[in-house]
Amino acid sequence: MDVLTDQLAQARARGAVFSVLRRVRPWGVRFSGRRPLTAHVLIEGTGWLEEPGREPLRLRERDVVLMSSGAPYALVSDPDVTAEPIADARLCGTDTRQGDAALILCGAYVLDGSFAASLLRALPRAVVVPATDQESAHAAAVALLADLIKQDAPGQQVLLDRLLDVNLIFALRSWWAQAGEAAPGWYRALSQPGLRRVLEHVHAEPAGEWTVPAMADLAGMSRAAFSLRFREVTGDSPGSYVTGVRMQRAEDALARSDVTLAQIAAKVGYRNEYAFSTAFRRRHGVSPGKWRAAARTAQPDYVPH
């Protein structure tokens, strides 16, 4: 099983384009920064990303920006230009005047579960993937976005939203590939065949009997060498990693189904409901039942401020 695909599937990562705005210089759009993960693509033109306490960052045409939550920030045509709140910009709509213009696509991602939280913690405030650094397929997806926003056809919003999902995968791959030690441990492990084989099998069958000897054999290493290397690369012990994958599956089942705790326990690799509940409480600090109730009250939305 492809581990990145599985991780994003467990996080239920999904995006929605919420505005495509044309602005004539001088222009500026301000965002509250409260949403977990927001995407911006400078479809046409150039601009700057401004964050409090940091030097403005130059943005060029087709550059992709991912912003995690934090202080308010702005996209502007030039440093120190006055920026209008995104809510006001959306009400005003696109600017059709002649002049030096930029076309800015903005979207937001909703992510759920423990992997979503760890993913967001592993990202810097701003991830910028310049057009010049995008792999060919990513550049093609951005080009398709640029083409589709000029159309008005049935299914338009769905197409844009799914392309925004594609953009997230490409942007994360691009960032993690060059982030070195800053990339998540499980992602770094994918570059090592033995460890990758273990992770793929664990994600494909989390309820399996994943003892250290079994995983070491799968990796083609001795037990001691495997345990040491696994911890060095992922930052986690093999057993703790397996528990984490099982908890991801359990969270998904608790939040999105009515199956019993005994059924969930069997599905994720625990011998009975008691063993599962104990492991879940140790991981989350609350019982599975309380966690389920809390998860179902959360109502995430897409539209950032």
Last residue within a domain, chosen from 123, 158, 179: 179
Residues 21, 169: one domain?
A: yes
Residues 160, 47: one domain?
A: yes
Residues 159, 194: one domain?
A: no
pLDDT of residue 116: 83
Residue 301: pLDDT above 70?
A: no
Cis peptide before 26, with omega less than 30 degrees from 0?
yes
Banded model confidence at residue 304, pLDDT cuts 50, 70, 90: very low
pTM of this structure: 0.85
Banded model confidence at residue 233, pLDDT cuts 50, 70, 90: very high
Q: Is the separation of the CB atoms in 164 and 111 below 8 Å? A: no
Please write the tens of the pLDDT for every residue from 21-43.
999 999 999 999 999 999 999 99
Q: Is the separation of the CB atoms in 193 and 147 below 8 Å? A: no
Residues 59, 195: one domain?
A: no
Domain assignment present for residue 302? The answer is no
Domain assignment present for residue 284? The answer is yes
Residues 41, 168: one domain?
A: yes
Residues 166, 76: one domain?
A: yes
Residues 106, 76: one domain?
A: yes
Please write the tens of the pLDDT for every residue from 253-269.
998 889 999 999 999 99
Residues 169, 23: one domain?
A: yes
Q: Is the separation of the CB atoms in 4 and 187 below 8 Å? A: yes
- Overall average pLDDT of the 10-30 stretch: 91
DSSP H helical ranges for the chain:
3-10, 86-92, 113-122, 136-148, 156-179, 185-189, 193-204, 212-219, 223-234, 238-256, 261-268, 273-284, 288-297
Residue 105: pLDDT above 50?
A: yes
Separation between Cα atoms, residue 298 and residue 287, nearest integer Å:
17
- Give the range among 77-91, 150-164, 291-305 with minimum mean pLDDT: 291-305
Last residue within a domain, chosen from 132, 158, 179: 179
Q: Quote the number of domains for the chain.
A: 2
Please write the tens of the pLDDT for every residue from 158-183.
999 999 999 999 999 999 988 888 89
Residues 133, 278: one domain?
A: no
Residues 242, 163: one domain?
A: no
Collect all residues with Cβ–Cβ distance below 8 Å to 61 and sequence separation of at least 6. Answer: 42, 43, 44, 45, 46, 131
Separation between Cα atoms, residue 259 and residue 253, nearest integer Å:
7
Q: Which residues span the domain enclosing 18?
A: 3-179
